[in-house]
Amino acid sequence: MKGSKKSDSFLDKRNKIAVVGTSDNRNKWGYKVYSNLKSAGYEVYPVNPKHAKIDHDVCYPDLISLPSKPDVVLTVVPPRITEKIVRTCKDMAIDKIWMQPGSESRKAIDFCSKNNIKTAFNICFIARGSSK
């Protein structure tokens, strides 16, 4: 969907967002995306099996461990991980996935298309969200 107006449903402040690939390194995009969403007032869950906490918030090892099902999954991971995440999203009936630039792959995008999962890619969530 390449950041079109259709991506506005991803930006709804009522959405619970899981950021897969959240990092505790403030210089990495996984941290920047997570902290920006949190500062903007989104209910956001950090997801990364390498961390127990991010900024004093519980960091979940995977999507299945979240306290509630997210409306949007945002990936900030290598494409091969995104390809696994989209399958988990299908299993969990999550129908919106935003693939940060560098996180997407044709395989993941095609999987989502074939499984009626809305996708946004080729645009940064922070850049799109900050224009709202």
Mean pLDDT of 84-106: 96
How wide is the angle at C-alpha 91 spanned by C-alphas 104 and 68, nearest 5°? 95
| Sign of torsion over alpha carbons 71, 38, 51, 112 | positive
The domain locations on the chain are 5-130
Instruction: Report the alpha-carbon distance of residue 29 to residue 130 in Å, rounded.
Output: 15
Q: The tokens of 2 are what? A: 């390449």
**Using CA atoms, how far apart are residues 33 and 42, in angstroms rounded to an integer?**
11
Ranking 38-47, 59-68, 92-101, 121-130 by mean pLDDT, the lowest is 121-130
pTM of this prediction exceeds 0.75: yes
Residue 130 has pLDDT above 90, yes or no: no
Output the pLDDT for position 131. Answer: 43
Distance separating alpha carbons of residues 8 and 83, to the nearest angstrom: 24
Q: Say which range, 4-13, 61-70, 84-93, 118-127, has the weakest mean pLDDT.
A: 4-13
Domain 5-130, CATH 3.40.50.720 — does that match? yes
